[in-house]
Amino acid sequence: AKKQWDDAWVVLEGNIIRQVGHELYEFRDSSGTVYVDIDNKYWMGQTASPADKVHIEGEVDRDWDGIKIDVKNIRVMK
């Protein structure tokens, strides 16, 4: 995801390893880590621990302060 263009649509599977802000989380998969921004409305009552694998879909958001994924869909794969 870190090599994608701004606004590119990405689909990732991995783990949310920690919350770093109000709706900002650190996500890890086999390629490394990236921050993901998940609005509360997209959780739809789901919860995820660092051990839970999640499937996320969203847009790459490249900004002056780095790269994050603006998540539009999340599914916890328990």
> What is the pTM assigned to this prediction?
0.89
58 in a structural domain: yes
Residue 1 is assigned to a structural domain of this protein: no
Answer yes or no: is 2 within a domain: no
Give the per-residue pLDDT at 75.
Answer: 98
Residue 35 lies in a domain: yes
Instruction: Give the CATH number for residue 15.
Output: 2.40.50.200
Q: Which long-range contacts (CB under 8 A, 24 or more apart) does 33-38 make?
A: 34/1, 34/2, 34/67, 34/68, 34/69, 35/66, 35/67, 35/68, 35/69, 36/68, 36/69, 36/71, 37/61, 37/68, 37/69, 37/70, 37/71, 38/71, 38/74
Q: Does residue 54 belong to any structural domain of this protein? A: yes
Q: For the chain, what is the domain count?
A: 1
Query: Is 21 a domain residue?
Result: yes
pLDDT in tens, 14-35: 999 999 999 999 999 999 999 9
Is 19 a member of any domain?
yes
- Domain enclosing residue 49, as ranges: 9-77
pLDDT per position as a tens digit, 31-70: 999 999 999 999 999 999 999 999 999 999 988 888 999 9
- pLDDT of the residue at 2: 63
**pLDDT exceeds 90 at position 12:** yes
